[in-house]
Each structure stands twice: as C-alpha cells, then as structure tokens.
Structure 1
Amino acid sequence: MGFATYAEVLRNPVVRRILLLGMLIRIPLWAANVVITLHVVGHLDRSYAAAGLVSTVVAIALSVSSPWRGRRLDRAGLRATVLPSIVIGAVVWSIAPWVGYWPLILLAGVGSLFAVPSFSIIRQVLIGHVPDHHRTTVLSVDSVATELTFLVGPVLGVLAATYLPTQVALLICQLAVVLGAVALWIADPPLHSEHSDLSAGKVSRRSWLTPSVLMILLIATTSTLILTGEDLSTVAALRSWDAPTSIGWMLALWGAGSAIGGIVYGALQRHPSAALLLVGLAGTTALVALAPDGSRLWFAVLLTISGLFCAPTITATVDDLSRVVPASVRGEAMGWHGSALTLGSAVGAPIIGLGLDRGGWAWGFALAGIAGLIIALPGVALTRRGRAVAEAAPDASTQGDAQQAADAPLGI
C-alpha cells in the first residue's frame, strides 16, 4: 500500500483548489435536494409521492443534461459552459421557491437541464493534473470528499428547513450552489495539463462509445441501483424493527465504511477492475439479507462491510472510463457516466420497492445483490480476456488514439 501517495497528491495546488470548489457546490446541492422534498410536503402540503415526482423530473433532466453539458465543456471550455448555468440557475431558483407545485416542477426541470456539470469538471481537472500513476489515488480523494459532502449537506438542509421557512431555505441552498459556480467560473481551473494530447478532438462518438465503454456505464448504473437498494432496505429494516431512530447512525456507519474503502483502494499499488469490485459490492449486499431479524449489531457489521466496496466501485468506473476514451472527449464521457449513475438510482427505487413490498427488508438486499452479480460476473470474464491486450496498449486518454481505445477492453 502507498498511503504516502495521498500526501503527494494533496501537495498539488490545483488538486486542493478544485476539491475545495467541488465541496462549495456539492454541499448546498445535497442540502437543496432534501429541502425541496420538505418544501413540497410541508409548505405546498403535497404527498411524498408528489415530492418524488419532482425528484424524478430533476433526475430525468440531469440525465439529459450531463452528456450534453459535458460535450459543451469539451468544445467550448469551462467558462462558456458554466456561465449559462450561473445565469439560468440564479433566475430559476430565485422564482421557484415562491410558486405552486406544477410551476415548481417546470422550473426545477429547467434548472436541472442547465445544472453546472460539476462532476465532469472536477474529475477532468483532477485527472489532467496528476501523473497517470496517481490517477486512481486522486479519484479516491474526490470520492471520499463526495461522501463527506453527502453526509454534511442533507444535515444542513434539514437544519435550514427546520429553523427557516422552506421557501427561504430552498432559496439559500440553491443560490449557494450558484455562488459556488461563480467561484468556479472565476477560478477557471484548466481542464487539461499542458501534456494532455487533445489531437483527437474531432473523433465521432461512434469511435469511442465502444462495448468496453458501454460495459463501464452499465456497471456504474448497476452500482447505484445497488446503493439505492441498500439505502431503502436499511430504512425498511429499521422501521420494521420499530427502531427508526437508528436509521441515521446506521447509514453513517455505511458511509464511513465507504470512505474507508475509498481510502484503502486509492492506496493500493494494483487496483481491481470495476467489474470485480461490483462483485464484491453485490455479494456483500446480498449477505446483509442474512442478518438475524431484529439484530442491529449483526446488521450494522454486515452493512459496514458492504460499505467498504461502495466508493471503490464508483471510483473504479471513473478511473477505467478515463483510460479508454480520448482526453478530448472526456467531458462528454463523464457526462454519460453521470447519467448512468442517475439512471441506476431511478431504476433501482421502484425495483427494490417492489421487493420490499413483496418480501420485506431482506428481499430488498437480496434483490439488489443478485441484480449486481448478474451484471458483474460477465464483466469479470470480459476483463480477464482483455487485460493482457489493454496493459500492452497505450493509455487512450493520453495518446489520443480513439481506435486503440476501442480495441482494448480494459475499462471494466
């Protein structure tokens, strides 16, 4: 293991700045997601199903937006991409908190279509400004930072909605996202280093959207389907045991396991493929279903063990994807990755919900785990067949050879 690599990575001023900027955007973004639900249920006096419809519209809009905004990022650069997000975001979220339910859905959809492609930007900057052998480590740092913002953001959102009118809380959270985008626009961090090969700037999507890339995206989708299943099933289990007050610390343990797993994964000298990590995530998720009914201790232990695979699996999909696409289309590729993650959450909720309705909390974990294994095992087989070819081939993201990337199925 090489934990000293983290110190080397964090000494890079570009890495430190973009991680800080990422947190400035992500924390209020997670907070706003919670506040908008509380706003619909509380101030607008609608059901949780109605609040879920708002979330669905936002998810669909983000799925459309991510690759489109990522492609814009590749072609026009950071400032030209972020500026419309600043203007439209400021206008939309200055109006949305004060309107009724259906106008809110419309405005939330428009705002999400022009959302700042923060994940694409942050990952491109990180990948472009560290040596190739530090790429996995720096992506692991970003993964852990994302975990922290996901833990902090919702808590701040609940506090804001508790002590302020939800309209004001929503306005503050969303305008904080806009201010983070302004800071990003001012900083204008370079998306690529001076050594990046951007010669493949005019390659067609068909040349790099290969079976390997599609498999990586499928793994990313499956991973968030599993994570959604674990989230919903944890809530269902603790509610069925009449222990709803344990939900918060149980999910915190799960998140802590994910952060630890991400740190360890980034320090490894040789990194397992995303497909292999998905096997671990799916298998340990299914094992949670074997926890004795009502035993919070065993449930917590098994859930934490499963958490160890969460951040590494997501990180591996980003890492593998960045290595099999040319640097000149990395923004769009990361956008498709973001859409894949969103799709997994959107598909996972109703599938796991059906399992919970039919068989209880254990069925939720079992269904998520089995679904993951069905996708992961063929991916592992493909990884083994392509490993020798891929290791002998140059890195597509640094060499700019799109066809070579298409022929090397490492990215799973």
Structure 2
Amino acid sequence: MSITPYRRVLAVRDARRVLLLGFLLRLPIFSAGVILTLHVVSHLHRTYTEAGLVAAAGTIAIAVSGPWRGRLLDRLGLRRVVAPSIVVNGVCWSIAPFVGYWALLVLSVVAGLFVVPTFSVIRQGVIAAVTEVDRRTALSLDGIVVELAFMTGPLLVVWLATVVSTTWVLFGIEMVGVVVGVLLWWADPPLRDASTTGSTAAPVQRAEWFRLKFVLFCAAATASTIVLTGSDVAFVAAMRQWSATASLGLVLVVWSVGSIVGGLVYGAISRPLPPSLLLLGLAVTTAPMALATSPWMLAAFSLLAGIFCAPTITATVDAISRVVPPSARGEAMGWHGSFMTTGSALGAPIGGVAIDHFGFGGGFVSVSILGALIALLAAAGARPRTGRPVEVEHRLAA
C-alpha cells in the first residue's frame, strides 16, 4: 500500500485545517448521546427511557436540519449559515445543563435544528482542497477522523463524568463545539474549487440530481449505519451474556481499529469500489460474529468486519460527490447525513428485537441480512442504462 496519496493530501494546508476542524467539531456530536444519558439519569434522576427520549429528539432534529442547513449553505455560503448556529447553540447549551428535564429536551431540539452542518461543511471543504485524483484519499482520511472522534469523544466525557458533575461536562463539551464553530467561521474554508465557483450564479434545481442513483447511494449509507448500530447493541448483549461487560471497550476498540485500517487501505488503492459491493462486504463479515463464543473470538471477528466500515461510508460520500453538481453538494451531503442518522435510529431497535427473540447472534444476523438485501437492491438499481449520462456534472456543463 502506497502512502504517496496521503502525503499529497496532507501537504495541502486547507486539507489539514479542515480535517482538524472536522475532528474537533465531531467530538461534541459523538459525545452528546452518552453525556446526555448520564446527565438525565444521574443528575436529573430520570429513567433511561426518558434519557433516550432526549437523545432521540436531538438526533431527529439534527436529521431534519441536514438538508435544510445544507441547502442554505449552497445559497448563502459558510459564514452566513454558521453564524446563527454559533449563536443559537451558544445560548441553548449555556442554559440546558442547568435546567430541568423538559426544558433540557426542548433546548436540545432547538440546538439540533441549528447545529453547525458539520458533515456538509467538512466533506465539501475536503473535496475542494484537493484534486479530483486525491478526492477518495481525502474522504478516506475524513472517515478515519470520524472514527477517531467516535472513539475519543464518549470515552472522554465518561471519564470526565467520574471527576466532575455531568452538568459541567455537558456544558464544557458543548462549549467546545461552539468555540470550534467560531474557528470554522473565522477560517471560512472554500467549499468549492476555483473551477466551480461560478456555479453559484445558476442554482441547480433539486429535481436535476435527486434521482434514483443518488437515492440508492443514500440507501447504502442508511444500511451501513443500520448494520453498525445494530452491531453495537449486539456487542452489549454478547458481553452481558458472557458476564464480560468489562471487555466491551476492548471489542469496540478492535472494531474501530479494523475500520481505520480499512479506511487507510481504501484511500490508497488506485480505483474506487462500488458502495453496494462494500456494503455487501460489511454485511457478510458482520454475520459471523453471531458464532463467537468468547470476547476474544468476538474481537477477532469484529476486526474483519471493521475493515469494511469506514470504506463503505467513504464510498457513498465519494459517489454522491460525483453525481451531484458542486452548487448542490451542501444539500446533498445534508441528505446523506440525514439518511445515515435515520439508519442509526433504526439499527438499534431492529437489532434489539432480534436479540430479544434469538439472543445476541440474532442481532448480528438480522442487520447483516438487511444490509445484504439493500446492497443487492442498490447494485441492481445502479446498473448503467443505455443513453443516460453517468454524471449530472457532465450534463450540466454542456
């Protein structure tokens, strides 16, 4: 595996800056569910169901905001969209940690609706910073940054919650997001390369690009997060069945390491792979985890399954960036993020129902079967049809 593509990407200052900002912005996002649950249960003395309601409400709000905020990003530019996010989130999260349950729920929804459109901004910034040849490598690096934030954020807030009150941990981690939002506003990274900046004068209608191929790529993204979140629940169930809950962290870290390795390899190979093929690989390698009989065996299986995690999501982002015109990428990436968020919301209950009936193995198998079916449907639907252009960009450029 050659590291030359990564050297080229990391040699670009804008790429390095956007990737760093992306890591910092995602820390509060991936930490929010954990710290909100701890805060509601331990500080507000509410049930886990009520804690889940707050997390779910905030997640739904973020999913709703994705396309809306992304469309504004395309029309108004980064600073005019990020500025209200900074103000609204600064106000909401300076109050929310210190109020009661229902006020916290309402404020988390408002903050979610005005969240910084991180995934749209960062992915567009990464794409704009590099050449088309290095796009997949840069997006793979962003996928690895996502994995690192996913691993680091929850561990950080859980540790901090053992040292100080959850009130101040929640306040602190959300204020980090606000401060980084200010840095993002100040940096104002380009979201389009110089060759496409003129497209802002002629906005492209949604009907021009929101077509079957785009939906299929988003469906693959949804399926990937269904498999991942369903697997999360199955991991917990397996550890509880073996009375080895203390080893859960080990398995999750091994799983994430596999994803990072897979992302690095995928970013360095010379040709892209279809998202549907990678999704099928993720589904097929997830199923054998149902056969594990110990934490160590499960960790070994998870390493293999993890190899397909980051590449699958990266491939969907890369594919969408090539079928959507640059002037609509903000909204498109917002839709992509919303589809992924929807998958995250569906994966846990789907896996949970199967676990209740068939044990932890049922959790892995159920989401694996669903992921494989969607992969096959996406592959069938994405077959090129005679006489139709491959990319929207080519047709619009004519």
TM-score (norm 2): 0.96
Partner of 2:52: 52
Amino acid at match of 1:63: A
C-alpha distance in structure 2 between counterparts of 1:107 and 1:5, whole Å: 43
User: Which residue of the partner structure matches residue 125 of structure 1?
Assistant: 125
- Residue 303 of structure 1 aligns with which residue? 302
Secondary structure of the residue aligned to 1:358 is helix
Q: Give the whole-Å Cα distance in 1 for the aligned partners of 2:351 and 2:387.
A: 38
CA distance in 1, matches of 2:3, 2:321: 23
Task: Output aligned runs, 1:98-137, within 5 Å.
Answer: 98-137=98-137
**Where does residue 241 of structure 1 map in the other structure?**
242
Q: How is 1:184-263 mapped onto 2 (pairs within 5 angstroms)?
A: 184-196=184-196, 198-199=198-199, 201-263=202-264
Q: Matched residue of 2:384: which SS?
A: helix
Could you tell me how far 1:30 is from its partner in structure 2?
2.4
C-alpha contact 1:198 1:326 (8 A) present in aligned 2: no
What residue number does 1:278 align with? Answer: 279
CA displacement at 1:225 relative to structure 2: 0.3
Structure 1, gaps ≥5 residues long: 405-412
Shift of residue 192 of structure 1?
1.0
Partners of 2:358 and 2:123 in 1: how far apart? 40
Alignment match, 2:340: 341
Counterpart code for 1:297: W
Question: Against the structure 1 CA distance between its residues 14 and 396, is the aligned structure 2 distance closer, same or farther, given a 3 Å change threshold?
Answer: farther
User: Which digits, 9 at most, give the CA deviation of each residue in 1:357-409, with x for residues without a partner?
Assistant: 111100000001000111111222344x329988x85x545x5728x9xxxxx
Give distance in 1, aligned partners of 2:185 and 2:222.
30
The Cα offsets for residues 205-236 of structure 1, whole Å up to 9 and x where unpaired, read as 11210000010111111100000011110111
- In the other structure, the counterpart of 1:401 is 396
Paired residues of 2:161 and 2:169 also in contact (CA < 8 A): yes
Give the alignment of 1:161-200 within 5 angstroms: 161-196=161-196, 198-199=198-199
1:161 Cα offset (Å): 1.4
* Residue equivalent to 2:371: 372
Percent of aligned positions that are identical? 48
* CA deviation after TM superposition for structure 1 residue 197, in Å: 5.7
Partner of 2:320: 321
- Cα distance in 2 for partners of 1:374, 1:31 equals 31
Amino acid at match of 1:356: I
Deviations 1:78-133 (A, max 9, x none): 00000000000111011101111111100000000000001110100111121111
Instruction: Please name the residue that 2:142 is paired with.
Output: 142
Greater CA deviation, 74-83 or 125-134? 125-134
Provide closer, same or farther for how the CA distance between residues 206 and 246 of structure 1 changes in structure 2, counting only shifts above 3 A.
Answer: same
Q: Is the 8 A contact 2:235 2:248 kept in 1?
A: yes
Confirm or deny: 8 A CA contact 2:259 2:306 kept in the other structure: yes
CA distance in 1, matches of 2:197, 2:180: 29
1:102 is paired with a residue whose SS is: helix
Once superposed, which parts of structure 1, at least 4 consecutive aligned residues long, lie more than 6 Å away? 387-390
Q: Distance in 1 between matches of 2:170 and 2:19?
A: 24
Task: Assess if the C-alpha contact under 8 Å between 1:29 and 1:173 holds in 2.
Answer: no
Is contact 1:327-1:400 (8 Å) kept?
A: no
Alignment of 1:150-161 (within 5 A): 150-161=150-161
CA contact (8 A) 2:250 2:299 kept: no
Instruction: Report how far residue 198 of structure 1 moved.
Output: 4.5
- Deviations along 1:264-314, one digit per CA (max 9) or x if unpaired, are 0000111211000000001111121122x3x22322111110000000000
| AA aligned opposite 2:308 | F
The equivalent of 1:71 in structure 2 is 71
Is residue 267 of structure 2 the alignment partner of residue 266 of structure 1?
A: yes
Q: Aligned AA for 1:184?
A: L
Deviations 1:6-56 (A, max 9, x none): 001100000011111112212233233321110001000011111111111
Q: Distance in 1 between matches of 2:386 and 2:355?
A: 42
Cα offset, 1:182, TM superposition:
0.3
The residue type paired with residue 133 of structure 2 is: H
What is the rounded CA distance, in whole Å, between the counterparts of 2:319 and 2:121 in structure 1? 17
Q: State how far apart, in whole Å, the 2-side matches of 1:378 and 1:50 are.
A: 37
**Cα distance in 2 for residues equivalent to 1:319 and 1:368:** 24
**Aligned equivalents of 1:125 and 1:21: distance in 2?**
10
Give the SS at the match of 2:194. Answer: coil
Aligned partner of 1:361 in structure 2 is 360
Calculate the TM-score normalised by the size of structure 1: 0.93
* SS of equivalent residue, structure 2 residue 196: coil
Question: Does the CA-based 8 Å contact 2:66-2:338 persist in structure 1?
Answer: yes
Per the alignment, do residues 66 and 300 of structure 1 end up closer, same or farther by CA in structure 2, a change over 3 Å counting?
same
